[in-house]
Protein backbone atom coordinates (compact mmCIF):
# COMPACT_ATOMS: atom_id res chain seq x y z
CA UNK A 1 0.00 0.00 0.00
CA UNK A 2 2.83 2.38 0.87
CA UNK A 3 4.32 1.58 -2.55
CA UNK A 4 1.09 2.69 -4.26
CA UNK A 5 1.02 5.88 -2.19
CA UNK A 6 4.59 6.72 -3.28
CA UNK A 7 3.66 6.12 -6.92
CA UNK A 8 0.60 8.34 -6.68
CA UNK A 9 2.51 11.11 -4.91
CA UNK A 10 5.24 11.09 -7.58
CA UNK A 11 2.74 10.98 -10.47
CA UNK A 12 0.66 13.83 -9.08
CA UNK A 13 3.74 15.96 -8.40
CA UNK A 14 4.84 15.55 -12.02
CA UNK A 15 1.40 16.48 -13.36
CA UNK A 16 1.75 19.85 -11.62
CA UNK A 17 4.76 20.65 -13.86
CA UNK A 18 2.65 20.80 -17.03
CA UNK A 19 1.84 24.32 -18.19
CA UNK A 20 -1.00 25.68 -20.28
CA UNK A 21 -0.67 25.03 -24.00
CA UNK A 22 1.97 22.29 -23.74
CA UNK A 23 2.33 19.09 -25.74
CA UNK A 24 2.81 16.30 -23.22
CA UNK A 25 4.26 12.81 -23.66
CA UNK A 26 2.16 10.40 -21.61
CA UNK A 27 4.09 7.46 -20.23
CA UNK A 28 3.06 3.87 -19.60
CA UNK A 29 3.03 1.92 -16.36
CA UNK A 30 1.73 1.95 -12.82
CA UNK A 31 3.29 5.27 -11.75
CA UNK A 32 2.69 7.14 -15.02
CA UNK A 33 -0.94 6.06 -14.61
CA UNK A 34 -1.34 8.43 -11.66
CA UNK A 35 0.21 11.30 -13.63
CA UNK A 36 -2.27 10.78 -16.48
CA UNK A 37 -5.21 10.66 -14.06
CA UNK A 38 -4.00 13.86 -12.36
CA UNK A 39 -3.59 15.58 -15.74
CA UNK A 40 -7.15 14.59 -16.59
CA UNK A 41 -8.30 16.33 -13.39
CA UNK A 42 -6.33 19.45 -14.37
CA UNK A 43 -7.88 19.39 -17.87
CA UNK A 44 -11.36 19.27 -16.33
CA UNK A 45 -10.33 22.29 -14.20
CA UNK A 46 -9.32 24.26 -17.31
CA UNK A 47 -5.77 23.22 -18.31
CA UNK A 48 -5.21 23.42 -22.06
CA UNK A 49 -2.89 20.63 -23.23
CA UNK A 50 -2.63 17.81 -25.73
CA UNK A 51 -1.07 14.43 -25.05
CA UNK A 52 0.87 11.88 -27.07
CA UNK A 53 0.57 8.43 -25.48
CA UNK A 54 3.42 5.91 -25.42
CA UNK A 55 1.09 2.91 -25.70
CA UNK A 56 -2.40 1.88 -26.74
CA UNK A 57 -3.20 1.32 -23.07
CA UNK A 58 -2.17 4.85 -22.06
CA UNK A 59 -4.11 6.29 -24.99
CA UNK A 60 -7.27 4.59 -23.77
CA UNK A 61 -6.71 5.89 -20.22
CA UNK A 62 -6.04 9.43 -21.46
CA UNK A 63 -9.24 9.50 -23.51
CA UNK A 64 -11.20 8.14 -20.55
CA UNK A 65 -10.03 11.00 -18.29
CA UNK A 66 -10.70 13.68 -20.92
CA UNK A 67 -7.23 14.41 -22.32
CA UNK A 68 -7.20 15.40 -25.99
CA UNK A 69 -4.68 13.32 -27.92
CA UNK A 70 -2.47 14.16 -30.86
CA UNK A 71 0.35 12.47 -32.80
CA UNK A 72 4.03 12.96 -33.54
CA UNK A 73 3.03 13.77 -37.12
CA UNK A 74 1.09 16.76 -35.82
CA UNK A 75 3.52 17.68 -33.03
CA UNK A 76 7.03 16.27 -33.62
CA UNK A 77 8.43 18.34 -30.73
CA UNK A 78 7.12 17.58 -27.24
CA UNK A 79 7.38 20.06 -24.37
CA UNK A 80 7.49 17.59 -21.48
CA UNK A 81 7.18 13.83 -21.08
CA UNK A 82 6.20 12.15 -17.82
CA UNK A 83 7.06 8.46 -17.64
CA UNK A 84 7.97 5.78 -15.15
CA UNK A 85 11.00 3.50 -14.92
CA UNK A 86 11.87 0.04 -13.66
CA UNK A 87 15.25 1.24 -12.36
CA UNK A 88 16.86 4.66 -11.90
CA UNK A 89 20.59 5.11 -11.18
CA UNK A 90 22.33 8.17 -9.64
CA UNK A 91 22.93 9.71 -13.11
CA UNK A 92 19.23 9.19 -13.96
CA UNK A 93 20.09 6.48 -16.47
CA UNK A 94 17.11 4.15 -16.63
CA UNK A 95 15.94 0.64 -17.34
CA UNK A 96 12.47 0.79 -18.88
CA UNK A 97 10.19 -1.60 -20.72
CA UNK A 98 8.67 -3.73 -17.98
CA UNK A 99 5.30 -2.67 -19.37
CA UNK A 100 6.32 -3.52 -22.94
CA UNK A 101 6.20 0.03 -24.33
CA UNK A 102 9.95 0.75 -24.52
CA UNK A 103 10.12 1.57 -28.24
CA UNK A 104 7.40 4.21 -28.23
CA UNK A 105 8.60 5.45 -24.84
CA UNK A 106 12.08 6.07 -26.21
CA UNK A 107 10.79 7.77 -29.36
CA UNK A 108 8.67 10.10 -27.21
CA UNK A 109 11.51 10.73 -24.74
CA UNK A 110 13.99 11.68 -27.45
CA UNK A 111 11.43 14.02 -29.08
CA UNK A 112 10.91 15.85 -25.77
CA UNK A 113 12.49 19.05 -24.49
CA UNK A 114 12.29 17.57 -20.99
CA UNK A 115 11.73 14.05 -19.70
CA UNK A 116 10.55 13.70 -16.12
CA UNK A 117 10.73 10.27 -14.51
CA UNK A 118 8.27 9.30 -11.80
CA UNK A 119 9.03 6.41 -9.46
CA UNK A 120 8.53 4.96 -6.02
CA UNK A 121 11.58 4.63 -3.76
CA UNK A 122 12.03 0.94 -4.63
CA UNK A 123 13.07 1.82 -8.18
CA UNK A 124 16.19 3.76 -7.10
CA UNK A 125 19.40 1.71 -7.43
CA UNK A 126 23.13 2.40 -7.19
CA UNK A 127 23.87 0.32 -10.31
CA UNK A 128 21.46 -0.71 -13.07
CA UNK A 129 20.86 -4.38 -13.80
CA UNK A 130 18.92 -6.08 -11.03
CA UNK A 131 15.78 -5.70 -13.18
CA UNK A 132 16.04 -7.78 -16.39
CA UNK A 133 16.71 -5.50 -19.37
CA UNK A 134 13.87 -5.62 -21.95
CA UNK A 135 15.08 -5.90 -25.54
CA UNK A 136 12.50 -5.60 -28.35
CA UNK A 137 13.33 -7.81 -31.33
CA UNK A 138 11.79 -8.82 -34.63
CA UNK A 139 10.74 -12.46 -34.44
CA UNK A 140 12.72 -13.31 -37.60
CA UNK A 141 15.98 -12.50 -35.80
CA UNK A 142 15.21 -13.69 -32.30
CA UNK A 143 17.50 -16.75 -32.20
CA UNK A 144 20.44 -14.78 -33.61
CA UNK A 145 19.87 -11.93 -31.15
CA UNK A 146 19.61 -14.38 -28.25
CA UNK A 147 23.05 -15.79 -29.15
CA UNK A 148 24.49 -12.26 -29.26
CA UNK A 149 23.03 -11.40 -25.88
CA UNK A 150 24.39 -14.62 -24.35
CA UNK A 151 27.83 -13.68 -25.72
CA UNK A 152 27.53 -10.40 -23.80
CA UNK A 153 27.11 -12.34 -20.56
CA UNK A 154 23.34 -12.22 -20.10
CA UNK A 155 20.55 -14.78 -19.90
CA UNK A 156 17.73 -13.84 -22.31
CA UNK A 157 14.20 -15.08 -21.74
CA UNK A 158 11.34 -14.64 -24.18
CA UNK A 159 8.50 -12.67 -22.59
CA UNK A 160 5.28 -14.70 -22.77
CA UNK A 161 1.56 -14.27 -22.17
CA UNK A 162 -0.26 -16.20 -19.42
CA UNK A 163 -1.24 -18.82 -22.04
CA UNK A 164 2.43 -19.41 -22.91
CA UNK A 165 2.39 -17.63 -26.27
CA UNK A 166 4.93 -14.91 -27.04
CA UNK A 167 4.11 -11.44 -25.76
CA UNK A 168 3.65 -9.08 -28.72
CA UNK A 169 4.28 -5.33 -28.41
CA UNK A 170 2.06 -2.59 -29.83
CA UNK A 171 4.52 -2.57 -32.75
CA UNK A 172 4.14 -6.31 -33.48
CA UNK A 173 7.51 -7.39 -32.06
CA UNK A 174 8.69 -9.75 -29.32
CA UNK A 175 10.58 -8.92 -26.12
CA UNK A 176 13.57 -10.68 -24.60
CA UNK A 177 14.02 -9.99 -20.89
CA UNK A 178 17.78 -10.15 -20.39
CA UNK A 179 19.37 -10.71 -16.99
CA UNK A 180 22.77 -9.01 -17.11
CA UNK A 181 23.38 -8.60 -13.40
CA UNK A 182 25.12 -5.34 -12.53
CA UNK A 183 25.68 -3.27 -15.69
CA UNK A 184 29.05 -1.59 -15.15
CA UNK A 185 28.87 0.60 -18.27
CA UNK A 186 25.26 1.19 -19.35
CA UNK A 187 26.22 3.57 -22.19
CA UNK A 188 28.57 1.03 -23.77
CA UNK A 189 26.00 -1.78 -23.51
CA UNK A 190 23.34 0.51 -24.99
CA UNK A 191 25.55 1.22 -27.99
CA UNK A 192 26.32 -2.46 -28.55
CA UNK A 193 22.65 -3.40 -28.44
CA UNK A 194 21.65 -0.51 -30.71
CA UNK A 195 24.20 -1.70 -33.28
CA UNK A 196 22.91 -5.29 -33.29
CA UNK A 197 20.73 -6.08 -36.34
CA UNK A 198 17.37 -7.53 -35.34
CA UNK A 199 17.13 -5.48 -32.16
CA UNK A 200 14.45 -2.85 -32.69
CA UNK A 201 15.07 -1.10 -29.36
CA UNK A 202 16.30 -1.77 -25.82
CA UNK A 203 15.28 -0.50 -22.41
CA UNK A 204 18.45 1.40 -21.52
CA UNK A 205 17.59 5.12 -21.48
CA UNK A 206 20.91 6.93 -21.24
CA UNK A 207 21.06 10.67 -20.57
CA UNK A 208 17.39 11.27 -21.46
CA UNK A 209 15.86 12.04 -18.04
CA UNK A 210 16.36 15.59 -16.76
CA UNK A 211 14.47 15.18 -13.47
CA UNK A 212 13.21 12.30 -11.33
CA UNK A 213 10.37 12.73 -8.88
CA UNK A 214 10.57 9.92 -6.34
CA UNK A 215 7.90 9.10 -3.81
CA UNK A 216 9.59 8.30 -0.50
CA UNK A 217 7.27 7.78 2.43
CA UNK A 218 5.05 10.84 2.74
CA UNK A 219 7.19 13.16 0.58
CA UNK A 220 8.42 13.48 -3.00
CA UNK A 221 12.15 13.90 -3.63
CA UNK A 222 13.64 15.64 -6.67
CA UNK A 223 16.69 13.97 -8.21
CA UNK A 224 18.78 15.46 -11.01
CA UNK A 225 21.68 13.94 -12.97
- pLDDT beyond 90 at 157: yes
- pLDDT beyond 80 at 2: no
- pLDDT beyond 70 at 92: yes
CA dist list (Å): 37 to 2, 7, 155, 202: 19, 12, 37, 27
Nearest C-alpha neighbor of 89 from the set 189, 10, 182, 188:
182
Q: Do residues 27 and 61 touch, judged by C-beta distance below 8 A?
A: no
pLDDT of residue 44: 98
Q: Which of 6, 87, 105, 146 is catalytic?
A: 105
Per-residue pLDDT, averaged over 31-58, amounts to 98
| CA angle (86 as vertex; 148, 198 as ends), nearest 5 | 25
Per-residue pLDDT, averaged over 45-49, amounts to 98
pTM across the whole model:
0.96
Domains in the chain, CATH or no CATH each: 2-124+206-223 (3.40.50.1360), 133-199 (3.30.70.260)
Label residue 202 exposed, middle or buried (CB < 10 Å: 0-12, 13-18, 19+). Answer: buried
pLDDT of residue 160: 98
CA distance 120 to 156: 27
Verify whether residue 105 is a known catalytic residue: yes
pLDDT of residue 207: 97
Amino acid sequence: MANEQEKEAAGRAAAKLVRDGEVVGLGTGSTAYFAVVALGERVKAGLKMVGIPTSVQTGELARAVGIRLTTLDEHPEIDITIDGADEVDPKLNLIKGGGGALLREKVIATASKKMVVVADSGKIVSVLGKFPLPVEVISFARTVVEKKIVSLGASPKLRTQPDGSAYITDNGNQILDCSFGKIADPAALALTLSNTPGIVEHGLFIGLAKLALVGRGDRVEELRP
